[in-house]
Amino acid sequence: MKNLFSVFCLFLLSFLILANDSKAVGFNSIHTPDGIYVIAVGDNGLIFRSSNGGNTWASYTYNSENLRSVYSFENDVWFTGQNGNVYKTGKSNSAITNYNVGSSFTVNSVYFIDANTGFVCGSGGSIYKSVNGGADWTPSMTGIPNEDLNGISFVDDTKGVVVGNNGTIYTTSDGGVTWMPFNTITDKNLLDVKYFTGGIIIAGEYGTLITSDVTGLWNSINSRTNSDIRAVSGTSYTTAHVAGGGGFIRNNMSGSSEFLNFEINPMLANLVDLYFYNDNLGFAVSSLNNAIIRTTNGGMSWELTAGASASISWVQKSPSGSGIGNNLCMHPTDRNSAFVVYGNKVYASRDKGDSWTQIATVGIGSRAHSFYVSPIDTNIWVAAMNNTPDCIVRSTDYGATWTNIIALDFSTYGQPLEMDQNDPHNFYFAPSNGSGLGVYKSTDIGATFSLVAPYNNSGINQPCDLIIRWDHPNEIYMGDDGADIWKSTDGAATWTLVKPGSSSEVPSMCNSIFDNTICYATTWSSPQVFRSTNSGDNWSIVSNNSGSGWGSDLCREDPTVVLTGSYGSKSWLTTNGGANFAEVNIGLSGAGAGIMVPERGYMLNMQTGSLFKMVINYSVLTSTNENIISTVPSSFELSQNYPNPFNPSTTIKFTMPEQGNVSLKVFDRLGREVADLVSGYRNVGTYEINFDASQLSSGIYFYKLSTDNFVSTKKMTLIK
């Protein structure tokens, strides 16, 4: 009899973006042997299985071990854990067998060439090989140093590669009998590797991407990000995908050797594994939640599977005061640290914006409008301050003392100071128009400023924001009052009006290192967001949000993500390159000042009175929630559900002293089946099943456990 209802359990998994993934609650690895059966594994024994290509998932808890890697081939699945544990099961829900390799180490990666021949690698330079499907393992680490190994891959039964911490790369051409090192290419930890027929691609910390083609030459790719790249997959060397950071996915198709094709996806959290079964079908997982994403069109778009959804809110943080310009600034060398200035107080966070401490006071002026910590020397700070007159000030001792560098009035609301990201020795300052005034430039990290050229009769009046085009230091965009946008191609000597005014001003602009033809601009007091896709020559409206536009930032690791704010308690987010913007306002208050988006899952909103950080919660639907308790029972037993009576959910526990097929079903008083909770092969153990009866009516129900050697039925009562 077919089920009348789908029984499901709703998991609301709230997370904060953490600097340390040890607190993670999601997955570490995902794989599929055929595109139909899919398995994902994570910490604390978490296992998700799908038998329909990810349309629905069943969740399981196997012991409490942190499961590190999963691989599948034909009907077999292997996953790894700690203390040398390698587990084998079937692609459908079946018995799990532990084949320990005989040595105690964390097994970080598993790879099988065929149903018999496989390799694992892990901590302490450990590599082991099996030739009988994982039943037995022998050391295969000749030449490997005592260095933690994180990824292993083979292109055939002889040629393989393993990577690890501190830039470790070893290859084998004799099936793992011997391993040969390569000269140091990087000192960063290497996290994943894929050996294609056409070459090798390696991913690692701080944006590390290394390739080697069939000629054997190694090449370090400028990925233009300092986010970790944690996963490599794909079907060929020239159609490869990489993932990491706060959720970006990139590929090297169409000859993009720097992997500058960004794939639109809904994950706003770190991606730690990625697997493509074929050219079209791929899956990716995060260690921070249980939401699994899938593509069916080769990465052109991704979707949350099995009815998963995300909710976004803002959480207020401790810095407060008076702010109007964008005074947010990343630490140049520590990606977990950031700065913000409220009034004349400088605050620092060392944990990606979760907590803040005042570390300095700007001794000149009352309220900052722009603030920079120099990448050349982090002791040097430069800020634009309200004063009489307004001024640019500088510190060379981490904010302890300050010097007034140049005193000229600027817009009351603007961000008149900009550092040239192409050459951080250079700063541009755009004061308000007046007799003989124009844009000023510093070439010595803000120590001195000189007039480039006067505004003359250009029509520029009250500059609100400046931005320099990536890789083109002489091209500068200026947002002016009246919502004009001006462009200079000669380093601020002359200006051309490229977008005539449409409202009062352009308070914020943002652009991308990955595609220097793109720039976004907000307008006040209108809701319009403008975008240029041809290096600022032409601008068009990409969004008409409600409210008056204010801050903006284009994600520093993915140009498909843009966050804009308003001079109010509203903000808007796009994760598809501006195709549409979603309003994200929950928890936000005050008026907008500045926005900074270092990663897809790390966004800060500087409101005039206080700072806010974005938090993303994922809800995941699974067909059942099954917890496996590791104790070995002495007899079959079906326990009374608890609580009983219940509303709307209850837990049913049963024990199996021997492995075999098991069925757990729920029936109404007329004997009609209303739920199928467990069906399939199970190992020896004690199982807890959560049953959600939200869609059933009040009344008496019966649940029946059936195995090859045991049948038991018990009664339970649902009261609504």
- In CATH, what number is assigned to the domain containing residue 644? 2.60.40.1930
Residue-wise over 280-314: b if at least 16 C-beta within 10 A, else e?
A: ebbbbbbbbbbbbbbbeebbeebebbbebebebbb
Burial class (CB within 10 angstroms; exposed 0-12, middle 13-18, buried 19+) of 222 = exposed
Residue keyed to tokens 């240029």: 532
Find residue 686's DSSP bridge partners.
Answer: 629, 655
Separation CA 706–CA 588 (nearest Å): 53
Separation CA 166–CA 548 (nearest Å): 49
Q: Quick check: 705 pLDDT over 70?
A: yes
* Residue 99, domain member (yes or no): yes
Q: Say yes or no: 427 and 572 in one domain.
A: yes
* Residue 533, domain member (yes or no): yes
Separation CA 670–CA 701 (nearest Å): 9
526-536 confidence digits (pLDDT tens): 899 999 999 99
pLDDT of residue 14: 27
Least confident among 158-162, 205-209, 247-251, 320-324: 320-324
Q: Say yes or no: 301 and 362 in one domain.
A: no
CA angle 617, 618, 619 (to 5 degrees): 125
Q: Quick check: 2 pLDDT over 50?
A: no
* Residue 109, domain member (yes or no): yes
Separation CA 566–CA 552 (nearest Å): 9
pLDDT of residue 546: 76
Q: How many helices (H) and strands (E) does the chain have?
A: 0, 65
Q: In what order do the strands lie in the sheet with 417-419?
A: 417-419, 427-429, 438-442, 450-454
Q: HSE, CB side, 13 Å, CA atoms: give it for residue 526.
A: 19
* Residue 284, domain member (yes or no): yes
265-302 confidence digits (pLDDT tens): 999 999 999 999 999 999 999 999 999 999 999 999 99
75-100 confidence digits (pLDDT tens): 999 999 999 999 999 998 778 999 99
User: If we measure between CA atoms, which residue out of 187, 242, 227 comes closest to residue 352?
Assistant: 227
- Identify the domain boundary among 574, 589, 617: 617
Q: Say yes or no: 261 and 316 in one domain.
A: no
* Residue 460, domain member (yes or no): yes
Q: Say yes or no: 595 and 691 in one domain.
A: no
Identify the domain containing residue 650 by its residue range: 632-718
pLDDT of residue 352: 97
Q: Quick check: 629 pLDDT over 80?
A: no
Place 631 in a pLDDT band, splitting at 50, 70 and 90.
low
Place 16 in a pLDDT band, splitting at 50, 70 and 90.
very low
For residues 502-529, average pLDDT: 94
| Helical spans, DSSP H, in 461-592 | none
Q: Do residues 307 and 43 make contact, with C-beta atoms less than 8 angstroms apart?
A: no
Q: Quick check: 678 pLDDT over 60?
A: yes
For residue 212, give both structure tokens: 């080697």
Place 7 in a pLDDT band, splitting at 50, 70 and 90.
very low
Place 24 in a pLDDT band, splitting at 50, 70 and 90.
very low
578/661: higher pLDDT: 578
Q: Are strands 160-164 and 169-172 parallel, antiparallel or unpaired?
A: antiparallel
217-242 confidence digits (pLDDT tens): 899 999 999 999 999 999 999 999 99
Q: What is the dihedral of CA 578, 579, 585, 591, to 10 degrees?
A: 40
- Identify the domain boundary among 255, 280, 311: 311
Q: Say yes or no: 333 and 421 in one domain.
A: yes
pLDDT of residue 94: 79
Q: Say yes or no: 426 and 503 in one domain.
A: yes
Least confident among 93-97, 418-422, 663-667: 93-97
Q: Are strands 38-42 and 27-31 parallel, antiparallel or unpaired?
A: antiparallel
pLDDT of residue 659: 80
> How far from the centroid of its chain's Cα atoms is residue 284's Cα?
11
128's CB contacts (< 8 A; 6+ apart) are 101, 103, 119, 120, 121, 137, 138, 139, 140, 141
- Identify the domain boundary among 587, 617, 647: 617
- For residue 451, give Cα distances in angstroms to 81, 162, 168, 411, 572: 63, 56, 51, 18, 37
Q: Say yes or no: 586 and 636 in one domain.
A: no
Q: Say yes or no: 662 and 611 in one domain.
A: no
Q: Quick check: 472 pLDDT over 50?
A: yes
Q: Do residues 39 and 47 make contact, with C-beta atoms less than 8 angstroms apart?
A: yes
Q: Are strands 699-707 and 660-667 parallel, antiparallel or unpaired?
A: antiparallel
Burial class (CB within 10 angstroms; exposed 0-12, middle 13-18, buried 19+) of 197 = exposed
Separation CA 411–CA 413 (nearest Å): 5
Separation CA 204–CA 151 (nearest Å): 10
pLDDT of residue 630: 60
- For residue 171, give Cα distances in angstroms to 161, 185, 662: 4, 14, 46
Separation CA 598–CA 245 (nearest Å): 10
Mean pLDDT of the chain: 92
Number of structural domains in the chain: 3
User: If we measure between CA atoms, which residue out of 27, 26, 37, 28 comes closest to residue 72?
Assistant: 37
* Residue 625, domain member (yes or no): no
pLDDT of residue 524: 92
Residue-wise over 461-487: b if at least 16 C-beta within 10 A, else e?
A: ebbbbbbbbbeeeebbbbbbbbbbbbb
Place 11 in a pLDDT band, splitting at 50, 70 and 90.
very low
pLDDT of residue 625: 63
pLDDT of residue 1: 31
User: If we measure between CA atoms, which residue out of 633, 563, 641 comes closest to residue 597?
Assistant: 563
197-223 confidence digits (pLDDT tens): 999 999 999 999 999 998 888 999 999
Q: Are strands 625-629 and 58-62 parallel, antiparallel or unpaired?
A: parallel
pLDDT of residue 63: 84
pLDDT of residue 295: 98
For residue 718, give both structure tokens: 């649902």
For residues 344-372, average pLDDT: 97
* Residue 12, domain member (yes or no): no
Q: Do residues 286 and 269 make contact, with C-beta atoms less than 8 angstroms apart?
A: yes
Q: Do residues 13 and 290 make contact, with C-beta atoms less than 8 angstroms apart?
A: yes
Q: Say yes or no: 290 and 157 in one domain.
A: yes
CA angle 160, 162, 163 (to 5 degrees): 150
For residues 35-48, average pLDDT: 96
Least confident among 321-325, 418-422, 427-431, 525-529: 321-325
671's CB contacts (< 8 A; 6+ apart) are none
Q: Do residues 524 and 503 make contact, with C-beta atoms less than 8 angstroms apart?
A: yes
The string of DSSP codes covering 288-323 is S-S--EEESSTTSB-EE-TT-EEEEEEEEEEEES--
406/319: higher pLDDT: 406
Q: Are strands 649-656 and 505-511 parallel, antiparallel or unpaired?
A: unpaired
Q: HSE, CB side, 13 Å, CA atoms: give it for residue 422.
A: 15
Q: Say yes or no: 455 and 503 in one domain.
A: yes
Q: Say yes or no: 200 and 334 in one domain.
A: no
Q: What is the CATH number of the domain that holds 521?
A: 2.130.10.10
Q: Say yes or no: 591 and 604 in one domain.
A: yes
* Residue 1, domain member (yes or no): no
626/337: higher pLDDT: 337
Please give, one letter per residue, the 3-state secondary structure of 350-406: CCCCCCCEEEEECCCCCEEEEEEECCCCCCCEEEEEECCCCEEEEECCCCCCCEEEE
For residue 15, give both structure tokens: 């997370």
